[in-house]
Structure 1
Amino acid sequence: MSGQATDIRVFERQELSKSLQAYKDGNTEEKKFLTIDNKVYDITDFIADHPGGEQVISTHIGKDATDVFHAMHPKSAYETLANCYVGDLAPEKNKTQDKEKQNSQAFAQEIRELRDKLTEEGYFDSSTLYYTYKVLSTVSICAVGLAMLYFGGHSTPIVFAAAVIIGLFWQQCGWLAHDFGHHQVSDDHDKNDMLVIFLGCFCQGFSLSWWKNKHNTHHASTNVSGHDPDIDTAPILLWDEFATANFYGSLEDNPGMISRFIAEHVLPYQSRYYFFILGFARFSWAVQSLMYSFNQGTLNKSATLNWMERSMLVSHWILFTTWTIMFIDSFTNMIMFFLVSQAVTGYALAFVFAMNHNGMPVISQEQAEDMEFYEIQVITGRAVTLSALGDWFFGGLNYQIEHHVFPDMPRHNLPKVKPMIKSICKKYNIHYHDTTALKGTLEVLQTLDVVQKLCGKFSKKVF
């Protein structure tokens, strides 16, 4: 890692801008800096070893990463950070700011103060009883589904019902793995990782490292075009004008036959096939997980964790296949069980994911550089007001804005802080979008419709 005591100096802000521009230009020779609490850190040699993945830390090269660092790192990360310290950031010189910028900074400062207050009051301390109940009740869903196959594998209606139950089990495992992956339950990284490996890799079939690499980047650059992998769904779905322009622009010189067909005859109708596509989400992510684990390995380069991830992923499919073959007495019912269980999970996961951010503002990288982290988290998120059953189905992610502002806060405390955050947003005129599941779904479809019309225009222009 970079940074010795003799190297410490005061950095002018132009040096950070130079670091950012060099990264954008693909210049690998320039040093890579970021700032946290007005201190400058040289992360040039640390990027490859970043436990959260190279992609996520790279999104903040040359930028102020204060809020995203505090929001997404445990106390143990501060010692590692200190090893990269190389100097202090020079104060801004007579820079006048408009009222909107001042308002945004005041909003961010009040959110920081709220975080400190909530930390002192124990809002970031998880309930062992709550999470014990969640793990046991979730595993019991699986037990019910497998028991139905064991005793009723000869009955098509029972096999179908078991497929639905197993599908819901996988979805609920995803929410629990998400909580442990964000260290909401414990400050012990190893303990969290072991539970993610059990719930995520073994029970659900999703790779821990694949998820972290993708999800951490999503949190660091939420709905930022070109950075957030969750809105990078081309050529299946396009969510904004940036992605549309990039996709159709890439086809201008030499479009392939398949790409041209998709551009002309598929994407201009994406709102029509949207719900059909969701059913394939779970299987697609499971395949991506296997490919990532066996091709990329683990984020922290641990051979032990790598072996555990791969063995648990393989064990998931062996157990799933074995139970299906042993206790379902008809090949037709086996196929039905596979398709229904995959589709139920796909719909149950993707419906929630789409509700979280799709159809909300997408921000260019240039805009993001001039915005406060907390403001981005609020304006790009969609809160969904639901019943207790809806909260269970959504895994608490209907409190999406609260989760993005405080990603390490235990799920059971998010409802308590919702009115606090809404109040601060109202005070500073920061838009907090709270809606119902039905209206949220219509917003998603309306966004797809707007973009598909744009696709039609681009198609005529390019071809």
Structure 2
Amino acid sequence: MGATRTWTRDAVAKRIIAGETLIIYHGHLLKIPQKWLDAHPGGALAFLHFVGRDASDEIEANHSEDTLKLIPKYSDGRVEMTNEGWLPLVPPIATGWVRRPGPNGKQEWHKEAAEVYSNEDSKFYPSSSILLVEKDKATNQPSAPSLASLQLPPSDLSLKVQTRHSNAWSELHRRITDAGLYKTPYLTGYGPEVVRYLLLACASAYTYKHDWIITSAVFLGLLWHQLVFTAHDLGHMGVTHNWTIDRILATLIADFIGGLSIGWWVQNHNVHHLVTNHPAHDPDIEHMPFFAISPAFLTSLWSSYYKRVLKYDAFAKIFLSIQHKLFYIVMGFARFNLYANSYTFLFQKAFDTKRARGGNWAWRLEMTGILFFWTWFGCVLYGCGSWQKALAYLVVSHVVTSPLHVQIVLSHFSMPTGDLGPLESFPHRQLRTTTDVICSDKIAFLHGGLHLQVTHHLFPRLPRHNLRKASMMVKQFAKEEGLTYAEFGFVEGNGEVISTLRHVAEQVKIMGKVAKEEVREAVEKRNMAVKANLKRASNGHGLKEH
């Protein structure tokens, strides 16, 4: 597999500081060229979060056998492994460092954010935690990350145990593959799905024709709700397992029928799967100023995904203090936020000269799809007969999709957000930050099969109709490895999420009271100082008169 030179950990660290993107894969050192960072379908962040780390499990979980065969060409030798496995380095992006073109056009280090290390060891701020905040522009910044910044912060995790979890996951992956669970059940799986989609589409068209506007809007919302599950499968290459075919089908569903960008969703969702529930890196939990599921967000974190500060401003203080009361209202209109994210992504890609694989035709197909969507949906709204009916149709059709958004957050909002650092293995992280929603097989279609999120996160490309069988094997794996397989009912899960939101809301109120008390004390001290000065001045004046 490529060159035979063996690299020490220190040598790897020095090469990273020199600007190379290096990742460990089964003991081999992979050197990722800039052109592949630009062309990777999952985005550059999928690489950057694993610089200096062993990404073997993440690579195999998210790539097909055909793609894995291409990896040898990127090998630059082997690395020195300890008896317990590879001791990871901290990726530069975790401490706010990224590579950007400099004045001469060459890639240079850029400090986009400042790192904040934990000074405690708690649920939200474990000792291994590294968060990002806005850098102080007035302070001179170093020109590149240092060897010290690549070293691991204190951690309670054992490299030996984490390596054991990783090896056990690899064995589980082999068993699932041998069991044929990667084979898509087209007839028994997607057959009923297609029938359901057609029935909902026909029902929406029929009721619309008979001027049953609200009923038609409900059926259309249900169609969108169901279709998004198949778009999700296709985005993970979990249907035909062919990137081009799955992407075209996903675009037809997401963009042409749903008005959403599959390209945005794939890039966003891939990062979510790799750094699940990390406050500074996972876009799926970065919803400031509307939601905060960790007190960490109350420090105005920097998002490495959105490349901006998630501001804890005056509006956020008001909204977050009642976020648990507004949860379902916001979820009812969450689809509009998906539009905003989708169109922002497509707009930015219009000026991207280094689009990812298939970027040119895929972007053009998506733009065509968005125009097609607003053409047919615009005609539907216009045909309602009045702006009042059109508004009702728009609102109802979108609110009907809200259970989907509620379900999505159930699997992560109530789970830990503390950063355990690069030492944490892939299976340990996914089981720690993800939970299942228990439901009967008879109504599993309402959840799109994705109520089995734990198994999905461990095996993202697995066809969702096979998740139930695989989950039995995952539960046994968790038991053998001493890991917790979290699951709860839909009602219980909603309660857990509301409880998490309420906890942060209480923190906001406490911080507000503390701030008011500090202001009051400051005012009192100032008034006392003013009185003291006046008294001294008065005494001095009296002496002069005397």
- TM interval, shorter chain, is 0.7 to 0.9
Specify the alignment match of 1:300 in structure 2. 357
Query: Is there any run of 5+ residues in structure 1 with no aligned partner, and where?
Result: 23-28, 249-254
Specify the alignment match of 1:25 in structure 2. none
Specify the alignment match of 1:12 in structure 2. 8
1:175-324 alignment runs, 5 A limit? 175-247=229-301, 260-297=313-350, 299-300=356-357, 302-324=359-381
Q: Which amino acid aligns with 1:408?
A: R
1:50-65 alignment runs, 5 A limit? 50-65=40-55
Specify the alignment match of 2:431 in structure 1. 378
Q: Which amino acid aligns with 1:147?
A: Y
Specify the alignment match of 1:26 in structure 2. none
The structure-2 alpha-carbon separation of the partners of 1:180 and 1:461, relative to structure 1 and needing over 3 Å to count, comes to same
Query: Is there any run of 5+ residues in structure 2 with no aligned partner, and where?
Result: 88-154, 303-308, 517-546
Q: With structure 2 as the length reference, what TM-score do the two structures score?
A: 0.75
- Which structure dedicates a bigger proportion of its chain to helix? 1
Choose which of 76, 79, 86 in structure 2 pairs with 1:86: 76
The SS at the match of 2:322 is helix
Distance in 2 separating the partners of 1:454 and 1:287: 29
Runs (4+) of structure 1 moved beyond 6 Å?
93-99
Q: Residues 330-369 of structure 1, C-alpha deviation per residue, up to 9 Å, x if partnerless?
A: 3311110001111222x122111111111101132xx230
The structure-2 alpha-carbon separation of the partners of 1:19 and 1:296, relative to structure 1 and needing over 3 Å to count, comes to farther
The SS at the match of 2:175 is helix
Q: Is the counterpart of residue 361 in structure 1 residue 420 in structure 2? A: no
Is the 1:34–1:64 Cα contact (8 Å) retained in structure 2? yes
- How far 1:455 moved relative to its partner? 2.1
Task: Decide which moves more: 415-424 or 208-217.
Answer: 415-424
Q: Which amino acid aligns with 1:337?
A: Y
Q: Which amino acid aligns with 2:388?
A: T
The structure-2 alpha-carbon separation of the partners of 1:264 and 1:33, relative to structure 1 and needing over 3 Å to count, comes to same
Choose which of 70, 74, 77 in structure 1 pairs with 2:60: 70
- How far 1:299 moved relative to its partner? 3.5
Is the 1:40–1:87 Cα contact (8 Å) retained in structure 2? yes
- How far 1:183 moved relative to its partner? 1.4
Distance in 2 separating the partners of 1:76 and 1:94: 30
- Higher-Rg structure is 2
Is the 2:207–2:216 Cα contact (8 Å) retained in structure 1? yes
The SS at the match of 1:234 is coil
Q: Which amino acid aligns with 1:107?
A: H
Is the 1:382–1:433 Cα contact (8 Å) retained in structure 2? yes
Is the 2:84–2:160 Cα contact (8 Å) retained in structure 1? no
Q: Residues 16-48 of structure 1, C-alpha deviation per residue, up to 9 Å, x if partnerless?
A: 44567x5xxxxxx52111111111111141211
Q: Which amino acid aligns with 1:313?
A: I
Is the 2:280–2:301 Cα contact (8 Å) retained in structure 1? no
| Identity across matched positions, percent | 24
Distance in 2 separating the partners of 1:144 and 1:415: 30
Choose which of 313, 318, 325 in structure 1 pairs with 2:382: 325
- How far 1:376 moved relative to its partner? 0.7
The SS at the match of 1:87 is strand
Specify the alignment match of 2:221 in structure 1. 167
- How far 1:247 moved relative to its partner? 4.5
The SS at the match of 2:76 is strand
Distance in 1 separating the partners of 2:367 and 2:202: 24
Is the 1:384–1:435 Cα contact (8 Å) retained in structure 2? yes
Q: Which amino acid aligns with 1:388?
A: D
Is the 1:224–1:362 Cα contact (8 Å) retained in structure 2? yes
Q: Residues 149-203 of structure 1, C-alpha deviation per residue, up to 9 Å, x if partnerless?
A: 11x22xxxx2112111111111111100001111111121111011101111111
Specify the alignment match of 2:32 in structure 1. 43
The structure-2 alpha-carbon separation of the partners of 1:35 and 1:459, relative to structure 1 and needing over 3 Å to count, comes to farther
Specify the alignment match of 1:338 in structure 2. 394
Q: Residues 250-292 of structure 1, C-alpha deviation per residue, up to 9 Å, x if partnerless?
A: xxxxx99x96322432212211111111112101102321221
Is the 2:288–2:316 Cα contact (8 Å) retained in structure 1? no
Choose which of 447, 450, 461 in structure 2 pairs with 1:397: 450
Distance in 2 separating the partners of 1:407 and 1:187: 12
The SS at the match of 1:33 is strand
The structure-2 alpha-carbon separation of the partners of 1:19 and 1:387, relative to structure 1 and needing over 3 Å to count, comes to farther
The SS at the match of 2:30 is strand
Task: Decide which moves more: 294-303 or 55-64.
Answer: 294-303
Q: Which amino acid aligns with 2:361?
A: T
Distance in 2 separating the partners of 1:98 and 1:453: 29
Distance in 1 separating the partners of 2:157 and 2:265: 39
The SS at the match of 1:201 is helix
Specify the alignment match of 2:22 in structure 1. 33
Task: Decide which moves more: 122-131 or 71-80.
Answer: 71-80
The structure-2 alpha-carbon separation of the partners of 1:449 and 1:37, relative to structure 1 and needing over 3 Å to count, comes to same
Is the 2:298–2:312 Cα contact (8 Å) retained in structure 1? no
Distance in 1 separating the partners of 2:157 and 2:343: 49
Is the 1:19–1:62 Cα contact (8 Å) retained in structure 2? no
Distance in 1 separating the partners of 2:156 and 2:374: 56
Distance in 1 separating the partners of 2:513 and 2:8: 48
Point out which structure has higher relative CO (alpha carbons under 8 A, 6+ apart). 1
